[in-house]
Structure 1
Amino acid sequence: MESREFVHMVRDLLDAEPDVRERAADEVTDRLSAYSPVQASALATLLSAAAVCEKETVVLEAELHAIIELMSTGHVMPDHVSQLCEIRLEELPQTLREYVTDLLEG
């Protein structure tokens, strides 16, 4: 992926509007083969940090799904998503708890 596209994606993942963040997380999964190994790991790290701060359940689900898909590329290691341990599982719906637990277990 070209740098310009990558930076645009990162900006959208961090946008103030939940709809933009959700759409950007969904787009991450649509372009898995376009990322270099470094871009894939960087996106996973960014998405994990964003997930820790995310207040919107639907956006959090999209972020977690994107991380799972990025991990399937083989370029993302458990250390890249270790920030997820900061999420308070008891505050999440059961399905999202399972996402986080699966990601942390590798």
Structure 2
Amino acid sequence: MESREYIEIVRKVLDIESGVRERAADEVTDRLSAYSPAQASALATLLSAAAVSEEENSALEAELHAILELMSTGHVRLDHVSQLQEIRIEQLPPELGEYVTDVLEG
């Protein structure tokens, strides 16, 4: 992916508006084959950091889904998403808690 496009998606992933973050996470999954290994791992790390502080369940679900999809590329290791361990699973709806567990189990 070209640097300009990559920076744009990173900006969206980190946007203040949850709707923009959610759409950005969906866009990440739509373009899996476009990322270099470094871009994929960096995006997964940023998405993980965003997920830790995410307050909107729909955005969190999209972020977790994008992380799982990025992990499926083989370019993302568990240590890239280790921040997810900060999420208090017991405070999430069950389906989102299961999503976090799935990601952390690789």
Does TM, normalized by the shorter one, top 0.5? yes
Q: Distance in 2 between matches of 1:16 and 1:76?
A: 25
In the alignment, which residue of structure 1 is the partner of 2:99? 99
Large movers: runs of 4+ above 6 Å: none
Query: For structure 1, which runs of at least 5 residues remain unmatched after alignment?
Result: none
In the alignment, which residue of structure 2 is the partner of 1:30? 30
Q: Distance in 1 between matches of 2:25 and 2:101?
A: 19
Equivalent positions of 1:1-106 (< 5 A) are: 1-106=1-106
| Identity within the alignment, % | 76
Could you tell me how far 1:45 is from its partner in structure 2? 0.4
1:3-39: CA deviations, max 9, x gaps? 0000000000111111111100000000000000000
TM-score scaled to structure 2, two decimals? 0.98
Q: Distance in 1 between matches of 2:100 and 2:63?
A: 11
Q: Distance in 2 between matches of 1:82 and 1:68?
A: 13
Q: Distance in 1 between matches of 2:89 and 2:25?
A: 21
Query: For structure 2, which runs of at least 5 residues remain unmatched after alignment?
Result: none
Q: Residue 15 of structure 1 aligns to a residue in which SS?
A: coil
Q: Which amino acid aligns with 1:47?
A: L
Q: Distance in 1 between matches of 2:58 and 2:44?
A: 18
Q: Which amino acid aligns with 1:3?
A: S
Q: Distance in 1 between matches of 2:64 and 2:83?
A: 12
Cα RMSD (Å)? 0.5
TM-score scaled to structure 1, two decimals? 0.98
